[in-house]
């Protein structure tokens, strides 16, 4: 089907190429364009098969994943790349290097280079391929799915083994129906000056946060706390990579870290981040509490926490991501009198989390990624006394 997202699978293991290809081909909206055993063969095949997204291993002979990304950059190839590699579990620094070279996101192979249990990361992988590949097709002026071929009965039949988040995403891609947002919830109090900014983000987040934080005002004196869905062991290196390109300090949150102006805290992988406020002092608190909205860290946990601690002095921002994490308690920020922003559909890799929040009436304003940093700073600096 011409409107399916075309995936180039690059891995040196024939078994892995076949397992990954099987997962791709059984997912509605995705199709394997071709397979390659290393980066060199992938470069040769790209002009011929014209993929919409590349699934790339890092450890390969002749031309590994990092070398492929370097050459891709030299050649000006902008096809999105999702890393699927065992090295992701061993070297966060190498993974962040791959992201800095233009890879869009990454998934860990669950048990080494040849992972026969690769199916356990299927949902994570296919949602990234759908998200990044779909966004690339839209940028190229192509359709993502043919509605007449993927109406509800076909999606339900083929997607029966997929998660509810991915099934909902597919339904959304097929639908031409515009859903009007619900009326916003009543406010307890009017907005006051912003004293903290909380951001919830998922699929598409690494690239989006790089854009926002590289453009943030260096004189912004409001602390920022962020939940980016990312595995344990990667958020420290991710924060360090953001810090190199952001005029403000960026660090991975540690339990007891003070919340202070001019600093951005990134939630640790597999730890909820909450803010505890006592008088004029606020600190970060990490916990191993159960998953919320399917995640730990959860944007809903962070949003509920800052709403309780800061009431009407919060700016809540929900950005690209699949599912609905953060949508409910962005509404709590709004009800308490805080301000809320959501990333708009055209600039979102996956318009899931911000869509749900918008449809619930919890988003005051939808903002494109290119203007998000400026709008955050404008809202945060507005005097409301």
Judging by DSSP bridges, how do beta strands 249-252 and 224-228 pair with one another?
unpaired
Alpha-carbon distances of 369 from 124, 228, 261, rounded to whole Å: 23, 16, 23
The first and second tokens of residue 270, run together, are: 């597999």
Tell me whether residue 293 is one of the annotated catalytic residues. no
What number of CA atoms fall less than 13 Å from residue 233's CA on the CB side?
A: 11
Tell me whether residue 358 is one of the annotated catalytic residues. no
Cα separation, 50 vs 32, whole angstroms: 11
Q: Which one of 115, 325, 329, 347 is the catalytic residue?
A: 325
| Crossing angle of helices 164-174 and 122-139, rounded to 10° | 20
The residues pairing with 275 across neighbouring beta strands, listed in sequence order, are 284
Which residues are CB-neighbours of 27 under 8 A, at least 6 positions away?
126, 129, 130, 158, 159, 162, 166
Q: Which one of 21, 85, 115, 202 is the catalytic residue?
A: 202
Tell me whether residue 202 is one of the annotated catalytic residues. yes
CB-based contact 245:287 (threshold 8 Å): no
Q: Which one of 229, 295, 358, 362 is the catalytic residue?
A: 229
Which residues are CB-neighbours of 370 under 8 A, at least 6 positions away?
211, 347
> Would you give the DSSP letter of residue 12?
S
Question: Active-site residue numbers?
Answer: 202, 229, 325
């Amino acid at each position: 089907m011409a409107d399916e997202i075309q995936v180039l699978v690059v891995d040196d293991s024939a078994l892995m190429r076949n397992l990954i290809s099987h997962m791709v081909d059984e997912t509605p909206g995705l199709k394997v364009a071709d397979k390659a055993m290393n980066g060199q063969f992938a470069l040769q095949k790209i002009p011929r098969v014209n993929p919409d997204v590349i699934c790339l291993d890092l450890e390969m002979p002749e031309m590994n994943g990092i070398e492929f990304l370097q050459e891709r950059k030299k050649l000006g190839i902008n096809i999105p790349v999702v890393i699927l590699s065992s090295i992701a579990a061993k070297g966060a620094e190498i993974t962040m290097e791959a992201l800095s070279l233009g890879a869009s996101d990454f998934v860990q192979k669950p048990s080494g280079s040849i992972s026969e249990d690769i199916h356990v990361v299927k949902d994570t992988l296919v949602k990234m391929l759908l998200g990044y590949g779909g966004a690339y097709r839209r940028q190229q002026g192509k359709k993502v799915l043919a509605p007449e071929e993927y109406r509800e009965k076909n999606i339900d039949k083929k997607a029966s083994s997929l998660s509810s988040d991915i099934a909902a995403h597919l339904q959304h891609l097929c639908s031409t129906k515009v859903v009007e947002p619900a009326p916003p919830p009543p406010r307890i109090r009017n907005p006051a000056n912003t004293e903290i900014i909380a951001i919830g983000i998922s699929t598409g987040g690494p690239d989006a946060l790089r854009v926002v934080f590289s453009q943030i005002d260096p004189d912004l004196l409001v602390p920022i706390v962020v939940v980016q869905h990312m595995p344990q062991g990667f958020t420290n290196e991710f924060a360090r990579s953001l810090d190199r390109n952001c005029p403000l300090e960026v660090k991975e949150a540690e339990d007891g870290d003070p919340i202070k102006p001019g600093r951005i805290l990134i939630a640790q992988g597999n730890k909820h981040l909450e803010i505890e406020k006592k008088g004029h002092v606020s600190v970060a608190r990490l916990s191993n509490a159960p998953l919320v909205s399917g995640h730990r860290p959860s944007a809903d946990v962070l949003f509920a926490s800052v709403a309780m601690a800061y009431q009407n002095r919060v700016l809540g921002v929900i950005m690209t991501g699949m599912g609905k994490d953060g949508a409910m308690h962005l509404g709590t920020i709004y009800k308490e009198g805080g301000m809320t922003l959501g990333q708009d559909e055209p600039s979102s890799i996956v318009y899931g989390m911000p869509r749900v929040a918008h449809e619930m009436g919890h988003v005051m304003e939808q903002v494109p990624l290119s203007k998000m940093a400026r709008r955050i700073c404008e809202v945060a600096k507005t005097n409301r006394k």
